[in-house]
Amino acid sequence: MVIGYLRVSTGKQNLANQQNEIRRFADSKDFVIDSWVTEVVSGRKRERDRKLGTLLKRMKPGDTLIVAKLDRIARSAKNGLELIDQFIDKGVSVNILNMGVMNNSPTGKVIRTVMLAFAEFERDMIVERTREGKKIASQRPDYREGRKPTEYDRNLFDVLHEQVEKRILTVTDAAKQLGVTRQTWYRIAEQRKAG
């Protein structure tokens, strides 16, 4: 069995690039991807271990796990080493496209450890730069924590809201006309009701 594993940190990110990379690789090796496992969760969060843990239990010796990039399987060096070792110990071939096939040779272990440490370092640097950017931005008088207020035409909202209340329009249609998502529509409606 050949499994393609895809992960993004947020729902706004796209899995297509990872999937295309894995497909190209599989085609070049005459592999057939039997199934795809996709996750939308941060590489640091422990809840992702449940899906990978289920995958680990499901896979059998001789199976292959294909991942586009090392940082997709884990952002923490410790967690990544544990996961990859568990797959290898079970007899599953772990192929990370930007590194190659993982193995338990001394060289393979060193390369894996160093690369996972760099992935963790990169993530930590992004978090630190974001924190520093927020600290600098917070010194501006117009700084506001959290998301920016949604810009929308208040008069148009009032007209559309009335049509939604009278069941002339659905929320989906009204939100489209206003140029916002349904979720944003409901947030605006709550704010207007409260304000």
The set of catalytic residues is: 9
Give the amino acid at 84: I
Number of C-beta neighbours around residue 125 at 10 A: 10
113 CB-near residues (< 8 Å, 6+ apart): 77, 81
Q: How far apart are the first and last CA of the chain?
A: 57
Asked whether the beta carbons of 3 and 62 are under 8 A apart, the reply is: no
SS3 assignment, position 159 = helix
φ, ψ of residue 150 to 5 degrees: the values are -70, 130
